[in-house]
Structure 1
Amino acid sequence: MGQVLITGYQFRSNEYRKGPIEFMMGLCSFFMSKDFDIPHMLYNSNAKCPLRKGVNYYVYKLSPNATNFPPLIPEGKWKLQLDFMYLNRYIAWSVEWYNGVEYMNIFG
């Protein structure tokens, strides 16, 4: 019943504009996904499926490892918006994550 809508916004023309990243996946699939280093980010957390009513969930020291990010994300400033949805209609909570992508020039 839970879904995560992931939308990427790239910083262009002095504002964040919707970029090429937008997809939806199931909440439990999101928690178990190896992309974006999610297992490492949720290591200090009790967020596990199935989510239960009446339980307080926490995430502590959330920090991603860039080596597990999908390749070829365009360079620049990014905002990733994660909307955690119930019944594909209602946003239960939302997270806005600001970061940057910079590639090393190995030929310079």
Structure 2
Amino acid sequence: MVNVFVLTYFQNDYYLKFERHTDFYYNKDYFGSGNYSYHFVNRTTKAISFYFTLIKKVGNNMKFTLQTYKFASNDYRLFPLYYEENPCIALSLDIFGTSMKHYDTNVKSCPLEKGYYYLRNARMRQSGFPPHVPRGRYMFDVQLYDENVLLTKAKIYIKVVPTNALEVERF
């Protein structure tokens, strides 16, 4: 019997505002054509959509890494938050609302065979993020590996904004 302890959070004191992404890289040995977009699905809600063609099988030994940098003194400086997870496990346990069962997609579980994959109008369940995150601007250096082969990487810039309009932002 395996006991799995999954942290479940609830917060409603902030939301994440996507600013931009840069330095997008993907391994051409694994991916053919593809596209990524962050767009409005209505007047107030943004969603992520992507599609890609996988030309080589990706196994169960994937690794997702996220290193955080906080904007301070006109520069992004290392912030002591590093996250590493096997995305196959995260998908099955619904960590931070990442389970693909909530979305219009054909990415359901690992391994990923060769073929066409898509995700349409996905919105993160932000209430499942950890509470009391410091307000400010952040950069996430995100990387995805299969075994030790880098599949894709990007820098994602976000802003942590309080939901209470009367809270003073200091950044």
Q: Same fold (TM over 0.5)?
A: yes
| Larger CA deviation: 27-36 vs 6-15 | 27-36
Deviations 1:51-98 (A, max 9, x none): 3231222222233232111112211012223211111x2210124332
| Structure 2 stretches lacking a partner, 5+ long | 1-60
- Point out the structure with the larger helix share: 1
* Aligned residues with identical type, % of pairs: 20
Matched-pair contact (CA < 8 Å) for 1:6–1:24 = yes
Q: 1:23-76, CA deviations, whole angstroms, 9 ceiling, x for partnerless residues?
A: 211121222344433237961222222132312222222332321111122110
Q: How many residues in Structure 1 have an aligned counterpart in Structure 2?
A: 107
Q: Which residue number in structure 2 is paired with residue 101 of structure 1?
A: 160
CA RMSD of aligned residues (A): 2.7
2:149 to 74, 87, 90: 90
Are 1:31 and 2:91 an aligned pair? yes
Q: Is the partner of 1:57 in helix, strand or coil?
A: strand
The structure-2 alpha-carbon separation of the partners of 1:59 and 1:107, relative to structure 1 and needing over 3 Å to count, comes to closer
CA distance in 1, matches of 2:64, 2:83: 8
Q: 1:74 to 1:32 in 2, by over 3 A?
A: farther
TM-score by length of 1: 0.76
1:38-53 alignment runs, 5 A limit: 38-39=98-99, 43-53=103-113
Say whether 1:2 aligns with 2:59: no
Unaligned runs of 5+ in 1: none
Counterpart in the other structure of 2:24: none
Q: Residue 44 of structure 1 contacts residue 61 of structure 1 at CA under 8 Å; is this kept in 2?
A: yes
Of the two structures, which has the highest relative contact order with CA contacts closer than 8 Å and spacing of 6 or more? 2
TM-score (norm 2): 0.52
2:97 counterpart SS class? helix
* Residue in structure 2 matched with residue 61 of structure 1 by the alignment: 121
| 55-64 vs 21-30, which moves further | 55-64
2:131 maps to a residue whose letter is P
Question: When you count strand as a share of all residues, which structure comes out higher?
Answer: 2
